[in-house]
Structure 1
Amino acid sequence: MVALASDASVGARRATPLHKILYVQVLAAIVLGALLGWLAPQWATNEWVKALGDGFVKLIKMVIAPVIFCTVVSGIAHISDARKVGRVAVKALVYFEIVSTFALAIGLVVGNVLRPGAGFSGKVDAAATAEFAKQASAKHAVDFVLDIIPDSVVGAFARGDVLQVLLFSILFGFALMALGERGRSLVALVDDLTHGVFGVINLVMRAAPFGAFGAMAFTVGKYGPAALGNLLSLIGSFYLSAALFVVVVLGVIARIAGFSIFRFLNYIKAELLIVLGTSSSESALPALMEKLERLGCSKPVVGLVVPTGYSFNLDGTNIYMTLATLFIAQALGVDLTLEQQFTILIVAMLTSKGASGVTGAGFVTLAATLGSVSPALVPGMAIVLGIDKFMSECRALTNIIGNGVATVVVAWWENELDRDRLAATLGGGAKKPDLDAGAATR
């Protein structure tokens, strides 16, 4: 078992030497990677260094589809009431839409108050973003709905399409539920397969420090401090917006649900460092699901909320889209009315759906948002193209935090949260709220 499992108890953490703890290894790798990229960019941009980061992300993506399938199928098959699955899904979607609106609104407020794009004097290269605009314009709402349905089950697993795998897993889980006793042996097989898949994840996570080192070294070596230039104001505004969202919005939600956002962040610190190093929230998805179950969330809730959240609850991407849209408009000297800004909020709410945790997905959704609000803003994407990589880490971090909190909240809402385990795992930060008094736990 890797050091990730050492977070299971305080005693285990005390007994494990620092250099064997996963998050310490990843943190050291990130620092060393950044130093290599800064001091020796010619070495950091070597294709083999880049391959370390890309290889680790591919290893994680390799097991995402099996993890989702096993977790969702097992979770649903163990539920006797089909209405309960639908209830969890509806509650999750309601939560996603409400919280996403707050994320979009924070981006608009910070963009209007700080005005990071005002006075921009750089040049715009429209050709640099032509491909992103083309990808965005090619997608319509009906395409998104149809894309949820895979051409084949094998194809969905081969591509690792989260929504397509999730759809098939839900249908398969309901089918096993309907079989009753005849399907028990198959359910037991899926349960055993789940343990095997998470065993593979434990092995893969040993490579996390190497992946973080390679990804961070290549990023810093390729772009460097000079790439930031006078665009630091946008980066600072974005990180400030994300911090406000996590501490204020998610912090209040967490407190209502009876736990501390800061203790929760400390609990998933290893996953956050992996996301920071790889710029992809998918790189920590399997480990996050395992940790949420150990935190006290029931398997059905984890299996439904986390995968769905990766397409419907991208809080970091939402903040990025509204803030970047305002930045581009300010940089191009385009004054947006309140009505147009409200349109941005509505359009961004739609275009963000289906954006995965893969690096760069937020940039394509930005193109779709700009094109819907005003085609004249699309060439302005070139302004932020050079620094998008520096903001993708923050997008991914905010996304994974948001999905983690969402899972705990939906589990609490559905009375599928083990309060005693939550309190024992997070220490003194978990208290049972009055709203949940007397509710049964899992």
Structure 2
Amino acid sequence: MAIIADPVPAVARPFWRQLYVQVLVAIVAGGLLGWLSPETGVALKPLGDGFIRLVKMVVPPVVFLTIVTGIAGMRGLGRLGRVVGRTFAYFLSVSTLALVIGLVVANVVRPGAGLNIDPASLETGAVAEYVQKAEDSGIVGFITEVIPDSMLGAFTSGNLLQVLFLAITTGIALGLVGDAGAPLLRFLESAQAVVFRLVAMFMALAPIGAFGAFAFTIGRFGPGAIANLVGLLATFYITSLLFVLIVLGVVARLAGFSILRLIVYLKAELFLVLGTSSSEAALPSLMEKMQAAGCPKPIVGLVVPTGYSFNLDGTNIYMTLAALFIAQATNVELTLGEQLLLLGVAMLSSKGAAGVTGAGFITLAATLAVVPGVPVAGMALILGIDRFMSECRALTNFIGNAVACVVITRWEGAVDEAALEAALGRQRGLAAPVGETDTD
């Protein structure tokens, strides 16, 4: 059953009706308002929060329905196991490489050198809640929290991993019962069509959400918040950009597609992520677009939501880079062995906080709490600019998961080549982006 609107190549849409143009204009307008009238910008925070809450409301049913119907329609559990194995092998390889790159860049650029900060002089109250969350989201807690208290509880917990667990097990069970489960499968496919239409309705509000969120960011933190730490911000943004263009670019090329064309294809979602500082805001639309680009629903349903918990390339770069920045700023010299320990702990803690709100800062707290020598209090140094770094983390994470989806589909030999070429080769203005509909 098709859930994605067919493109209409014969009709050109005016540029001002393109979602990415509307979101970009909203970001610029919100930034100007936050800069010129900070109090007004801060007061608009509910617009951004409200939009993100709307999207988060439909994320659990989107993920559940996509995975269940996809697995139930998959031929044989052997293929499911192969897809899962390849997915986690890819995630582990690329996310570990991101951690290593952050570590290497921090040692070469040394963005924290010369600050000479005394840890005792730092105000740690602001970071205390993140440290507490890090303690609550350890590896053991992470494993137990994957299993929901009840089937309905998976949808209300806010933990996407619980939805994944319930969806995979339900999809397997539905596939095993065969014809007896056909009526339920048809019902779930119909429900999926309704939920995706709901997503399209909510996405029409994306410019308003981006406007409010970006106005708040600039109004609350302002350009002055980054003045003293511009070196760290620049290092992080440039490193993430090079990671996307070079590392993910090579991965994409080896898989037979262009990273730049994929970025252009996802431009509306990327602007939304930039404006809201949340990759989760674009999750439903990403899943829809990956299917439109020729990736089968079962693979999209497994790879994309799982990647949001386990394939956080931007977060991993941030973790090692920020940890060494704090060490350098507080004049703590880490030996090679200590840096390798930091890398190993980061590999675990980045998974332990999966599905936790504010995971980037929390995983950093969890890592520093284990590594001796680096003061956790040093996190106060970067708390003021974490919002700006969060945008870069979210963008890199989002692109990384889009690349992973196409790559794993290629490994499975399941790509619809015509659909992929049509999506990535589509010229601007020839067709409406997936999820956009005319409202006239």
**Aligned-residue RMSD, C-alpha:** 1.7
Query: Is 1:312–1:353's contact at 8 Å kept on the other side of the alignment?
Result: yes
Q: Does 1:84 align with 2:79?
A: yes
What's the CA shift for 1:74? 0.4
Q: Does 1:30 align with 2:27?
A: yes
Q: Does 1:67 align with 2:62?
A: yes
What's the CA shift for 1:276? 0.4
Change (3 A) 1:29 1:18: same
For 1:103-114, list aligned pairs within 5 A: 103-114=98-109
TM-score (norm 2): 0.93
Q: Greater helix share, 1 or 2?
A: 1
Hey, what's the Cα distance between the residues in 1 that align with 2:5 and 2:357?
27
Which residue in 2 is equivalent to 1:99?
94
Hey, what's the Cα distance between the residues in 2 that align with 1:356 and 1:28?
33
Q: Determine helix, strand or coil for the equivalent of 2:351.
A: coil
Query: CA offsets, 1:39-82, max 9 Å, x none?
Result: 11121111xx1000000000000000000111000000101301
For 1:84-233, list aligned pairs within 5 A: 84-121=79-116, 124-233=122-231
Which residue in 2 is equivalent to 1:432?
none
Which residue in 2 is equivalent to 1:279?
277
Query: Is 1:280–1:358's contact at 8 Å kept on the other side of the alignment?
Result: no
Hey, what's the Cα distance between the residues in 2 that align with 1:340 and 1:380?
17
Segments of 5+ residues of structure 1 without an aligned counterpart are 430-442
Which residue in 2 is equivalent to 1:439?
none
Q: Quick one: which of 25, 40, 43 aligns to 2:40? A: 43
The one-letter code sitting in structure 1 at the alignment partner of 2:124 is A
Hey, what's the Cα distance between the residues in 1 that align with 2:170 and 2:341?
39
What's the CA shift for 1:358? 7.0
The one-letter code sitting in structure 1 at the alignment partner of 2:85 is V
What's the CA shift for 1:296? 0.4
Query: Is 1:276–1:393's contact at 8 Å kept on the other side of the alignment?
Result: yes
Query: Is 1:281–1:358's contact at 8 Å kept on the other side of the alignment?
Result: no
TM-score (norm 1): 0.92
Query: Is 1:280–1:357's contact at 8 Å kept on the other side of the alignment?
Result: no
Query: Is 2:138–2:352's contact at 8 Å kept on the other side of the alignment?
Result: no
Which residue in 2 is equivalent to 1:409?
407
What's the CA shift for 1:230? 1.6
Q: Quick one: which of 355, 358, 368 aligns to 1:370? A: 368
**Bigger relative contact order, structure 1 or 2 (CA pairs below 8 A, ≥6 apart):** 2
Change (3 A) 1:202 1:271: same
Which residue in 2 is equivalent to 1:295?
293
What's the CA shift for 1:222? 0.6
The one-letter code sitting in structure 1 at the alignment partner of 2:155 is F
Q: Determine helix, strand or coil for the equivalent of 1:153.
A: coil
Q: Determine helix, strand or coil for the equivalent of 1:118.
A: coil
Segments of 5+ residues of structure 2 without an aligned counterpart are 428-440
Query: Is 2:159–2:355's contact at 8 Å kept on the other side of the alignment?
Result: no
The one-letter code sitting in structure 1 at the alignment partner of 2:151 is V
Query: CA offsets, 1:274-325, max 9 Å, x none?
Result: 1001111100000000000000000000000011111110111100000000
The one-letter code sitting in structure 1 at the alignment partner of 2:52 is V
Query: CA offsets, 1:224-280, max 9 Å, x none?
Result: 111112200000010011011101110000000000000000000000011001111
The one-letter code sitting in structure 2 at the alignment partner of 1:139 is S
The one-letter code sitting in structure 1 at the alignment partner of 2:377 is P
Query: Is 1:107–1:319's contact at 8 Å kept on the other side of the alignment?
Result: yes
The number of equivalent residue pairs is 421
Query: Is 1:9–1:425's contact at 8 Å kept on the other side of the alignment?
Result: no
Change (3 A) 1:133 1:339: same
Change (3 A) 1:389 1:359: farther
Query: CA offsets, 1:25-47, max 9 Å, x none?
Result: 0000000000000011121111x
Change (3 A) 1:9 1:90: farther
Which residue in 1 is equivalent to 2:431?
none
Sequence identity percentage: 56
Change (3 A) 1:364 1:325: same
What's the CA shift for 1:374? 2.0
For 1:12-31, list aligned pairs within 5 A: 12=11, 15-31=12-28
Query: Is 1:53–1:210's contact at 8 Å kept on the other side of the alignment?
Result: yes
Hey, what's the Cα distance between the residues in 1 that align with 2:191 and 2:378?
48
Q: Determine helix, strand or coil for the equivalent of 1:336.
A: coil
What's the CA shift for 1:125? 1.6
Query: Is 2:137–2:353's contact at 8 Å kept on the other side of the alignment?
Result: no
